[in-house]
Structure 1
Amino acid sequence: MVTAQDILVGASDYPTESIAEMTAQSRDIGIGYTNLGASLMALGYPYDSEQGRAWAASITALLTGTAAIRSTELAQSLGPAPLFAADAAGWIGVYRMHLGAATHIGSVDVQPELNDRVVQVWSEALERVQLVGSRNAELSVAAPTGTISFMMDADTTGIEPDLGLVKFKKLVGGGTLQIVNQTVPRALRRLGYTSEQVAEIVAYIAEQQSALGAPHLRPEHLAVFACAMGDNVISYGGHLRMMAAIQPFFSGAMSKTVNVPAETTVDEVEQLLIDAWQMGIKCVALYRDNCKVGQPLSTGKQTIDLPAELVAAKPVREKLPRSRSSRTFEFRVADCKGFVTVGEYEDGRPGELFIRVSKQGSTLAGIMDAFAISVSHGLQYGVPLKAFIHAFVGMRFEPAGITDDPEVRLANSLIDYLFRRLALDYLTYPERLDLGVLGTDERLQQTLPGVEEHAVGSSPGLDLASSATEADRNFVETTSAEPSVSDSPLGQAMDAPLCMQCGIQMTRAGSCYVCSACGSTSGCS
């Protein structure tokens, strides 16, 4: 594998010329492994344990040390990397540091023969690099491997622990794929469980998606099945300690995600980064659960405990009393005649609506009846009448035109007329002013903005002409500085009627309205 990767250094294409030149000088390669988390589980070692870290460090040191020996063999045959001659002392010093770290792995006696082999390999690598040099500057790296590891029959990716004993992967084309850890039975058998006990525990995990509470599973073995997410979770410190244990034996950095719960604070993230720096970890990536709308892997649905009052809260329908007062009015919009009945609560609020238009059985009558039922349910479930009026006033469709209502002379549609009428009957003046729905008298009583009373004084005798001229000049300057009627926001208000001739919204002119398109007036001028 080392030989193949060294060949690829010269056969590959690179994005820029500078990268190609630097790669040719250092001849970096990147050998690595995957499925570390599942391997530890199969051996019966918890991911966050001294035994697990010692075994992982030994495997990593053996991998990089063996690659280092092969790199020196290539250097003996093909020559060392061009960069080796420029910094041979530093290069050899790195090998010496690898050997020094390897001698400290044996503090936890996991597999004595493995630890002895690690020291032996790195001793040989150091001797050879001093004699012939090395063909490759960097030898190993912890690649992410991603979900492609599952295609290689691996239960975990890279140096990661298992995300969850049962996982759900979102597919690009839609849907999800359930991924079940296949290492659990092997781990249980190694821990001494019988075939019947293994079958019951595996069935429980498949159903509950967790090892917590599994039958026959002893508490001291629960840590073996701890995962990055879920209810039996590895702490962020456990992730960092594993990274610190194997970092001395990787030439490059490690692709490793430190999973933290959704409620992790900014201060905790800061402390995590400081801890990683103090442990000598080259790089660290954090992932806070549910920080993305759609994450590719999840361990199942999350149950959120809500306060009792929120759980019990649900929409309450306030029905009208069996005997209630109502208000009925007749209307006509264009050539469509109808009747509206509004049922009221005891305090006068509207609670139901009945609309009768056209002939019984017609499409329009059915639609309006269904619409009235919908509005009635909304009113009884607490939707404010003002919200309905804001939504429906101004809707434009046929039939539309002149009405027989002196307060609403022109309507854009039946719905527009009905809710303008309801606004006039049930909303206060400030509410209607906010919505732009005013009656005829209220529109006439509004003062025209920008027009002020101007008193022109006069002086007796010879000062009469000069005083008049002064007053005229002041009047012109004052009125020219004020906005005109058409420039004012109320110059063409929302409640201004539509022209009966052309249908364009009219503009206020004094106490009347005039159409700017065809010149028609409302009858005052």
Structure 2
Amino acid sequence: MTDTTQAPSASTTGQGLTIERIYTTPGVHPYDEVTWEKREVEQTNWKTGEVIFRQEDVEFPDFWSVNASTIVTTKYFRGAVGSPQRETGLKQLIDRVVLTYVAAGRKHGYFATEDDALVFEHELTYCLLHQIFSFNSPVWFNVGTKSPQQVSACFILSVDDSMDSILNWYKEEGFIFKGGSGAGLNLSRIRSSKELLSSGGTASGPVSFMRGADASAGTIKSGGATRRAAKMVVLDVDHPDIETFIETKAREEDKIRALRDAGFDMDLGGEDITSVQYQNANNSVRVSDEFMRAVEAGDEFGLRSRTTGDVIEKVDARELFEKMAKAAWECADPGVQYDDTINHWHTNPETGRINASNPCSEYMSLDNSSCNLASLNLLKFLTDDNTFDTERFQAVTELVITAMDISICFADFPTESIGETTRNFRQLGIGYANLGALLMATGHGYDSEGGRQLAAAITSLLTGASYKRSAELAAIVGPYAGYAPNAEAHQRVMRQHRDANAQLAPMHEMDTHVQDAATEAWDAVVTLGAENGFRNAQASVLAPTGTIGFMMDCDTTGIEPDFSLVKFKKLVGGGSMQIVNQTIPRALRLLGYDDVTAQGIVDHIAEHGHVIDAPGLDPEHYSVFDTAMGERAIAPMGHVRMMAAVQPFLSGAISKTVNLPESATVEEIEEVYLEGWKLGLKALAVYRDNCKVGQPLSSGKGENKGTADDSSGKPAAEAPAPAVEKVVEYRPVRRRLPKRRTAQTTSFAVGGAEGYLTAGTYENGDLGEIFLKFGKQGSTLAGVMDAFSIAVSVGLQYGVPLETYVEKFSNLRFEPAGMTDDPDVRMAQSLMDYVFRRLALDYLDFDTRDFMGIHTAEERARHLATGSYAPEAGTETRGESEPTQEDDADLESQLESYSQSIAPASARRPEGASSVAADAVEPADTAVEGAAAATDRAAVAGGTTVSAEVHSSAELMEQKLGKAADAPLCMTCGIKMRPAGSCHICEGCGSTSGCS
């Protein structure tokens, strides 16, 4: 880290800011206006129930959710647990950050008087205390501690065409990864493999040097954690090695598949995965307008030498574009960045071009620079009378942007070059979260013109208010050091923003009110900027807001739509409770539904997870409740159009992935990429469901072979750019079981349904047949299950691997589902899910099961204790593990905590609930009944309906949130993560998959 705390302060040209009160009362501290309570923060492994973190007597406001307080305590509190240095409450955390900002503001001349400094302190404290906004995670980690005062989450590096520069790139990335952040860079300056070195030899090309950087990133775990580092690699479309770059990750996916099928350990933590390259970065192609026009026209496009700039090869632009889309169809890489659009909105072109972005693509600025982020919680500005509090929104924006700029005065940076650029240009990234919830609460469909207009107006006001304050700060503490040579360009971009705002066409009174305020702000920006200049080269981005979104108790992250209509609420005593989103009743009231009808709709959502055929709900209103996943998933172009609506009002770009169904075609991805360019986006990334065949816990659906031939339903001749495969024909031979064979029968209960699984084996112990019998079944179901058993048995005898059946049938969701009496498989999403998980545990070797994420209770306990599921050498891993007294005691303890957390409650079984026969499950059923009664009373009081189920959050997530098979498991607590922008976020503990 470079030490910048002694850097000279900015010259003071004015008298300092006068800070107006927004929420606070003179003479009253914000802490004195809330009720505080002591909590025990405990985090458990969702599978085993073992405690992995506990801190007692942690103080939080009573309105903070258990989830928010848990995430803040485990992620942001500093000091070793149990030591005197350990922070014990939210007050300490907020004071540590806010008082550091205030002290720096005083030192560098930001405040007109001491009273203004005090008001600034109180307003900043109030907003953080009431979850109105949050700084990005590095601020909470580092500010006010003895650690380097790192405040930035986003970094952009650079690399030149020399070995010194390339090796320095490896080193700088390593330092950034070590600090827990991510970085991006453009490799296009490195000469291609089709060019000569000065010595006369042939150059290696940038793709070869990507191997070394990828290996480094895979070795240096981000922030010392077990997750991988986050990075972005960009290559210009006119680089001679662009085709190799496009195909790198798609070819590696083929390698993963082949090696896995050959029996190698291709788990992400396995010893053989190191043979697979380029897995630690997001790849993006930087396309130009010239290239995109050639794609439309079907023209040739020239690839240029890096050393001379001459065209050394011509390619068919349309074919190259199809290869980009096909590779993205196969493995989600590469994304695209639209170079001319990015640099058209660049405020500092005289200093240098924008060549790259951070890993999530929202921060786009000069090479060797960084950006600190903060996000506002939009739902906090929706008043009780369903109006948007425009005045307070603008005031809070100006307050926060002031604090963000102050942080640069004392911040440390990982390299001197990054520190110098950041201090000279003072890039900021204010944004927001909870847009999806705000749109739903105000009766706007996410994919609707009204929803896009409101989002655009709010974004316009956000950036306009930020630059207005930036111009005011320039009059007080001076413009950024690099402003003078870029003044004309910066002012031109401000006029572009203002003109885009003038093109908005508000559809409702709310939109109109917000846009009127934005118009005033942009007029002031242009006027004040011409007089004073600007304090900041950049003001706004839309980041993923993963962990800080949970800190603010947001329903949705960044610009994302609502993930689902059902959420999970942590209980004080442990576990979680399924609840319908609190914004839904509010939206129904706004749409004119009476309380009785609204309650019926909410009950329907609680049962089904969607609004289709909800009693009394007008189908015209379905779109208001569309979500990212599920029965009414928003179409891919709905995501693109929302991004396009807000992009003209952002300094940077947007962290968002356009999700496509598994059935999407290469042509659909081409359309997304083409429309993104036409609509003026700066960057786009796509993800086709289940395209990463090497992803842990893949559902195995779709028989994805990495080519487009069968995905569209077209014959191979019609499929775009099909891959050529060598076909080898063979005839399988049936290996029959001996007449007398060994078999074992397992009794089980899933969600109250009892059954028996009989498995027969060959002499060597390999599985060869199964028989399934279920209690109280009719003759039809009995016949179906017999036929199913025969089909699986014949397949096993013809050589179909058991792991293939496990991939196909585990994670299937249908009733009966729920708790089981098996200590190794505590929850099952269906009878098939249980049966094939049990078979995997009994008959598959450890390495295969580990790859699939299927472990015994003993292995899960070992992972918590040692960090590894693997048994010690010589330990037998096949076969059923018997439940121990400790297992039973552990289950009873968990169930007791469920009951105590929601008692007293009258016992009432929800309609349609199945009875539970297994003794081991009966206590859980009692807890469920108690939860139903307790939460029904809560629903009457608070307008929120809660379903009568209490399960692990991971199981509920898979049952109600739709398919998320390609999401990774959280490395901290084991819960399957969900998308947040270009990253993944864990709802259980707040961990992210790589982006800060």
User: If the length of structure 2 is used for normalisation, what is the TM-score?
Assistant: 0.30
Aligned to 1:113: 513
The alpha-carbon deviation at position 373 of structure 1 amounts to 13
Which residue number in structure 2 is paired with residue 52 of structure 1? Answer: 451
What is the CA-CA distance between 1:150 and the residue it aligns to? 3.4
**Which of 498, 513, 516 is residue 99 of structure 1 equivalent to?**
498
Does structure 1 retain, via aligned residues, the 8 Å contact 2:431–2:540? yes
- Which residue is equivalent to 2:274? none
**Aligned equivalents of 2:427, 2:558: Cα separation in 1:** 20
In the alignment, which of 429, 432, 436 is matched to residue 30 of structure 1?
Answer: 429
Q: Does 1:78 align with 2:502?
A: no
- Of residues 222-231 and 145-154 in structure 1, the stretch that sits farther from structure 2 once superposed is 145-154
2:546 corresponds to: 146
- 1:227 corresponds to: 627
Note if contact 2:741-2:762 (Cα within 8 Å) is conserved in structure 1: no
Query: Quick check: 1:75–1:132 contact (8 Å CA) kept in 2?
Result: yes
Q: Which amino acid aligns with 1:181?
A: N
Give the drift of 1:297: 13
Matched, 1:90 2:90: no
Question: What's the CA shift for 1:110?
Answer: 4.6
User: What is the 5 A alignment of 1:330-369?
Assistant: 352-353=739-740
- Check whether the contact 2:662–2:689 (CA below 8 A) recurs between aligned residues: yes
| Contact 1:352/1:376 (8 A) holds in 2 | no
The equivalent residue for 2:561 is 161
Secondary structure of residue in 2 paired with 1:280: coil
Deviations 1:281-315 (A, max 9, x none): 111222222345799999xx9999xxxxxxxxxxx
1:86 deviation in Å? 1.1
Cα distance in 1 for partners of 2:494, 2:796 equals 77
TM-aligned CA deviation for residue 257 of structure 1: 2.1
C-alpha separation in 1, matches of 2:673 and 2:554: 30
**1:249 pairs with 2:649:** yes
Matches within 5 A, 1:390-429: none
Instruction: Please list, as runs of the form range in 1=range in 2, the aligned pairs for 1:133-212 lying within 5 A after superposition.
Output: 133-146=533-546, 148-166=548-566, 180-212=580-612
Please say if residues 460 and 515 of structure 2, whose CA atoms lie closer than 8 Å, have aligned partners that are also in contact.
Answer: no
Change (3 A) 1:375 1:142: closer
Displacement of 1:376 after TM fit? 13
| Pairwise CA RMSD | 3.7
**2:659 maps to what in 1?**
259
In structure 1, list runs of 5 or more residues that go unmatched: 170-174, 305-348, 356-369, 388-525
Gap change, CA 1:377 and 1:230, over 3 Å in 2:
closer
* Alpha-carbon spacing, 1:101–1:285, altered in 2? closer, same or farther (3 Å): same
Q: What SS does the aligned partner of 1:31 have?
A: strand
SS in 1 for 2:542: coil
Distance 1:49 1:262 in 2: 24
Contact 1:160 1:257 in 2 (8 A): no
Change (3 A) 1:302 1:206: farther
Is this contact kept in 1: 2:737–2:762, CA < 8 A?
no
Deviation (angstroms), 1:113? 2.6
Closer, same or farther in 2 for the Cα pair 1:155/1:352, shift >3 Å? Answer: same
Moved more, 280-289 or 177-186: 177-186
User: For the residues of structure 1 that align with 2:446 and 2:654, how far apart are their CA atoms?
Assistant: 17
Matches of 1:297 and 1:197 in 2, distance apart? 40
Cα distance change on mapping 1:350 and 1:126 into 2, 3 Å: closer
Aligned partner of 2:413 among 14, 30, 37: 14
Residue type of the partner of 2:422?
T
Residues 69, 128 of structure 1: 8 Å contact kept = yes
Instruction: Show CA shifts across 1:342-384 (max 9, x none).
Output: xxxxxxx9962499xxxxxxxxxxxxxx988999986996699
TM-score by length of 1: 0.56
Change (3 A) 1:386 1:166: closer
CA shift digits 1:220-277 (9 cap, x unpaired): 1000001111111211111111111100111111112212112112221122111111
- Alignment-derived partner of residue 527 in structure 2: 127
Residues 162, 228 of structure 1: 8 Å contact kept: yes
Distance in 1 between residues matched to 2:551 and 2:676, nearest whole Å: 32
Paired with 1:65 and 1:374, the residues of 2 have a C-alpha distance of 70
For residues 382 and 239 of structure 1, do their structure 2 counterparts lie closer, same or farther at Cα, with a shift above 3 Å needed?
closer
Which among 451, 466, 475 is matched to residue 67 of structure 1?
A: 466
Do the aligned partners of 2:457 and 2:514 also contact (CA within 8 Å) in 1? Answer: yes
Q: 1:240 to 1:177 in 2, by over 3 A?
A: farther
Please name the residue that 1:322 is paired with.
none
State the AA in 2 paired with 1:240. V
Q: Does the CA-based 8 Å contact 1:141-1:251 persist in structure 2?
A: yes
- Corresponding residue of 1:405: none
**Quick one: which of 275, 281, 287 aligns to 2:681?**
281
Distance in 2 (CA, whole Å) between partners of 1:27 and 1:282 is 21
Give the deviation of 1:8 after TM superposition.
1.3
The equivalent of 2:80 in structure 1 is none
Q: Deviations over 1:103-159 (max 9, x none)?
A: 111354453232222111100110000000000010011010015423422111111
CA distance in 1, matches of 2:494, 2:625: 36
| Structure 2 counterpart of 1:244, one-letter code | A
What CA deviation, in whole Å up to 9, does each residue of 1:197-236 have, x standing for no partner? 1111111101101111111110110000011111112111
Quick one: distance in 1 between partners of 2:519 and 2:455? 15
Larger Rg: 1
1:43 matched residue in structure 2: 442
For CA contacts below 8 A with separation 6 or more, give which structure has more relative contact order: 2
Letter in 2 for 1:228: A
Matches within 5 A, 1:510-521: none
Give distance in 1, aligned partners of 2:432 and 2:766: 65
Deviation digits for residues 391-447 of structure 1 (CA, Å, limit 9, x no counterpart): xxxxxxxxxxxxxxxxxxxxxxxxxxxxxxxxxxxxxxxxxxxxxxxxxxxxxxxxx
